[in-house]
Structure 1
Amino acid sequence: MSDGESLQEVLTYYRSWLAFRQRFSRVPGVQAAVFADGSVAFSAAYGLADVESAVPLTERHLFRIASHSKTFTATAVLQLVEQGRLRLDDKAEMHVTELVDAPAGKLTLRDLLSHAGGLTRDSDDADFWQLAQPFPDREQLLAMLRSPDAAVIADNERFKYTNIGYGLLGLVIEGATGRSYNDHVRTEIVEKLGLSDLGPELDPARSAEYASGYSSLAYADERVPIDHVDTQALASATGFYGNARDLVTYFSAHLPGDDRLLTDASKRQMQHPLWNVGTDEWPKYGLGLQIAKVGDRELFGHGGGYPGHITRSLVDGKAGIAVSVLTNAIDGPAQQMAEGAFKLLDLAQSKERPEQSADLSRFTGRYAGLWGVTDIVQLGGRLYSMDPSQGDPADKAPTLEVDGDTLRVTEDYGGGSYGQRYQFTFDADGRPESIRSAGGLRMVPIERFALPPRVTAG
């Protein structure tokens, strides 16, 4: 990140934006972290870890990060490839001998890592995702893999996401190392990075540290808590837990030049886009990593969907920035919130930073009126007007220019108030007391805004 001043401006607003989005989205809790310039530059938590007991969410609470587990599994496989103990073109049956006569055993590790093996996603009876039954153990997973229904389509026909395939990769790692999957990845990945709040499976000894997970508002007016359960033989697909701070630190080890886990050559293989995930050009999938475009940035990372927790991590390898957002609701907007950090960075860096004489910070803040909320935000040495209720904080944000105690709209998207002004009234201490928006509506700082019992004329 070349512009440290812009980064700090972005992180200052990102903190405020996330707090608003957590409340506005009616998500119980949001935890987020950003790695930049070689360290964790931002870490915060909003809302509640336990709604029923009114426990505030902290930066240390643990989340089930679900399919983030696939990145750890892929990392472990590539480590073993570097050590000469596995090859990407090995067939699974070479290391899981119970599958010698099964079609799943003929799939290569590369096929499995890239979701190109054509295997069933979760089998025909996947109600373990609704906690109606336990997650499959080793024998049950092998039975699923030996089933005639395991192969849904031919291998390498197209991208086909499969948790069962990643469960098989966990068995491959066990076969190649002689250790349990959980012990191996804990030793070779988590402990190598010195991370204490990251692990491969539910840890009952730390049960009080987990943020409670909650159901959706799609089918009910109230959320209900969802138990945490062991994912057993699918740990390599979905078992991991962690917090945002440790998660971005883990992803920093996937940046170029960092040799703590893998060589750059192996990281390039993981991050190389092999398959289109859908019919559009983006996103794509590599070896255990999703690759997406946000603006002009090509980002790698992964999402995770666990009963009660939705999580997302995105990494810009060129800029050396990693963002993780963890939510404790089954419909949490983690992806939108993670992408928001990069969209704000793009806006802050979209123009050359101007020479500054006026104090821009005296205008910044969150202002409310009957029609909604407006944020006046300082990014890249400029002021912008933003609507935090929109999912993309930087979309169509009008640019504002200081003129005394007013801000003139100098750029907008055409449907705004180009050429008009935000007129500020300041109190004796120089703090904004009220504003007249560019649309002519009076607004006040949000902490002073209150609705009457009924909005009446006059």
Structure 2
Amino acid sequence: MDRYHSPGIAVAVIHDQDIIYSEALGYVDVENKIPSTIDTKYPILSVSKTFTATMLMQLKAKQVVRLDDDVRKYLPEYKHAATLLQLATHTSGLPRNTQADLAFMQSIDRWIMGASKDTAIIASTRQAMLQSLPFITTEYPAYDLLSYSDRHYSNLGYSMLGFALERAAKTAYTTYVKQHIMQPLGMRSSGFLQDADNPKVAAGYHYNDSTKSVTRTPVFVPNSAMPAGGVYSTARDLAKYISFQFRDDAAANQILPATDKAMMRAFNIGWKPAYPFVMHEGAMLGYRCEVFFSPALKLGWVILTNVSDFEFNRINAIFSQLLTPVFNKKADTDLRKYTGTYKLAGGAGSLDISIRNGQLYSTYLAELGNVPLTPTGDNHFQVKVPGTSFSLGYDFITNAVSQKMILNLDQFMWVKE
């Protein structure tokens, strides 16, 4: 805690459908000495955007909306062309925030400078945000080319997306997310910061490096930023949310098909790439949080804190270095799984792979019949003719749908009989 200066923290590490490690330290209310637990409710701020993105993909799967729908179909207040997909991937060129949030941002600045004693920082109302839309101009070109993990991040874009989806679904945004995402996943301790039951969440704090002390921060009131940053949750609930990302069973696919979850990760819809992981952080005066997971390893973690500045990179590196080797699939050294007859997919060709003297041999190209396949990695082999520059790569994979062995050879797909 001394390294990170957070009064409280809650952590859960997940493998597949299980929490394999959890810890909570410090206080969620320093003044009253209320301890942090993995069931403590924390604002998760911009991680809320992944719930809005999930709502988009659900409505797409139900054919209520299309990803290429122009947002003006649902938000005629906005005057420029932008698709729902652009809003969800931060590629519309929109600025980070609406001008209606000027007073909100200035109130944060004044509080940090010590020029304000505000007890609440209040984002623009929905009405003020919608009224600002006719005057919004794009800041960047649409689909501006950036490095893969970068984007022109827009809170405004996600607020617009959430309210557009609300109109398309004919259901209040918060009601929809609770009924179609949180409740089916059993996230019973999650909701929205402005829910009628006035949820009790962890108090936020700001660390002052000059005084080496923390000060309680004003309450965050999201208003129009609800789809961009208005969710609260717990480490235990977010563990369920991460586990859901790994599921491909009938019940999970009723919530969102696995192919749509994969599409979200591949196209950065809601999630940000940190290969081989995907992630999303949340930050606001008084809080930092992170959800981080690897679909391939079925491994992930959530970190919730109640301090303005928190560096996740060191913890991510430690967890990754410790856990990746444990859950990485071990290389299968039994060569017999590769042997058999392989048919050219969609064609008439075939080849046989067999074992002789403990090595694999292939009948593809008779001229190479006596040249063994040399291992070059997990499920990867190579045939190389000595004294020449000629080589052929043999890449074996198991088809995720049929579970049949597939061979990629000479730019063709071959299927084991």
Identity %: 27
Q: Partners in 1 of 2:127 and 2:210 — Cα distance?
A: 35
| Contact 1:33 1:244 (C-alpha < 8 Å) held by counterparts | yes
Task: Give the residue type in structure 2 aligned to 1:111.
Answer: Q
| Count of aligned pairs | 309
- Pick the aligned partner of 1:121 from 96, 121, 139: 96
- Pick the aligned partner of 2:287 from 292, 299, 309: 309
Q: Partners in 1 of 2:154 and 2:60 — Cα distance?
A: 22
- Specify the SS of the correspondent of 1:341: helix
Q: Partners in 2 of 1:333 and 1:232 — Cα distance?
A: 28
Aligned twin of 1:290: 272
Structure 1 residues 349 and 62, CA, compared in 2 at 3 Å: closer, same or farther?
A: closer
Aligned twin of 1:134: 122
Q: Partners in 1 of 2:257 and 2:37 — Cα distance?
A: 34
Aligned twin of 2:264: 270
Structure 1 residues 146 and 60, CA, compared in 2 at 3 Å: closer, same or farther?
A: same
The correspondence of residues 74-93 of structure 1 with structure 2, limited to 5 A, is: 74-93=53-72
Aligned twin of 2:214: 223
1:145 equivalent in alignment to 2:124: no
Aligned twin of 1:173: 165
1:226-248 per-residue CA deviation (whole Å, 9 max, x = no partner) reads 13232111111010100111112
RMSD of aligned residue pairs (Cα, Å): 2.2
| Contact 1:138 1:233 (C-alpha < 8 Å) held by counterparts | yes
Structure 1 residues 219 and 145, CA, compared in 2 at 3 Å: closer, same or farther?
A: farther
1:240 equivalent in alignment to 2:231: yes
Q: Partners in 1 of 2:316 and 2:235 — Cα distance?
A: 11
- Specify the SS of the correspondent of 2:66: coil
Once the two structures are TM-superposed, the CA of residue 210 in structure 1 deviates from its matched residue by: 1.5
| Contact 2:43 2:231 (C-alpha < 8 Å) held by counterparts | yes
Q: Partners in 1 of 2:228 and 2:238 — Cα distance?
A: 16
1:94 equivalent in alignment to 2:70: no
Task: Give the residue type in structure 2 aligned to 1:191.
Answer: Q
| Contact 2:17 2:240 (C-alpha < 8 Å) held by counterparts | no
Q: Partners in 2 of 1:168 and 1:211 — Cα distance?
A: 28
Q: Partners in 2 of 1:188 and 1:126 — Cα distance?
A: 33
- Pick the aligned partner of 2:141 from 154, 178, 187: 154
Once the two structures are TM-superposed, the CA of residue 337 in structure 1 deviates from its matched residue by: 2.5
Once the two structures are TM-superposed, the CA of residue 308 in structure 1 deviates from its matched residue by: 0.7
Task: Give the residue type in structure 2 aligned to 1:141.
Answer: M
- Specify the SS of the correspondent of 1:71: helix
The correspondence of residues 422-441 of structure 1 with structure 2, limited to 5 A, is: none
Once the two structures are TM-superposed, the CA of residue 287 in structure 1 deviates from its matched residue by: 0.6
| Contact 1:47 1:56 (C-alpha < 8 Å) held by counterparts | yes
- Specify the SS of the correspondent of 1:145: helix
Aligned twin of 2:11: 32
Aligned twin of 2:340: none
Aligned twin of 1:330: 308
Structure 1 residues 219 and 136, CA, compared in 2 at 3 Å: closer, same or farther?
A: farther
Once the two structures are TM-superposed, the CA of residue 30 in structure 1 deviates from its matched residue by: 0.9
Relative to structure 2, which stretch is displaced further, 230-239 or 53-62?
53-62
TM superposition score normalised by structure 2: 0.69
Aligned twin of 2:45: 66
Q: Partners in 1 of 2:170 and 2:229 — Cα distance?
A: 21
Structure 1 residues 350 and 174, CA, compared in 2 at 3 Å: closer, same or farther?
A: closer
Aligned twin of 1:395: none
Task: Give the residue type in structure 1 aligned to 2:253.
Answer: D
Q: Partners in 1 of 2:103 and 2:287 — Cα distance?
A: 17
Structure with larger Rg = 2
Relative to structure 2, which stretch is displaced further, 235-244 or 35-44?
35-44
Q: Partners in 1 of 2:190 and 2:233 — Cα distance?
A: 4
Q: Partners in 2 of 1:135 and 1:48 — Cα distance?
A: 27
| Contact 1:212 1:225 (C-alpha < 8 Å) held by counterparts | yes
Structure 1 residues 117 and 213, CA, compared in 2 at 3 Å: closer, same or farther?
A: same
Q: Partners in 2 of 1:216 and 1:330 — Cα distance?
A: 7
**RCO (CA 8 Å, sep 6+): is it higher in 1 or 2?**
2
Aligned twin of 1:189: 181
Aligned twin of 1:252: 243
Q: Partners in 1 of 2:312 and 2:84 — Cα distance?
A: 30
Q: Which runs of 5+ in 1 are unaligned?
A: 1-21, 275-285, 353-458
| Contact 1:34 1:324 (C-alpha < 8 Å) held by counterparts | yes
Structure 1 residues 37 and 192, CA, compared in 2 at 3 Å: closer, same or farther?
A: closer
Q: Which runs of 5+ in 2 are unaligned?
A: 109-117, 146-150, 331-417
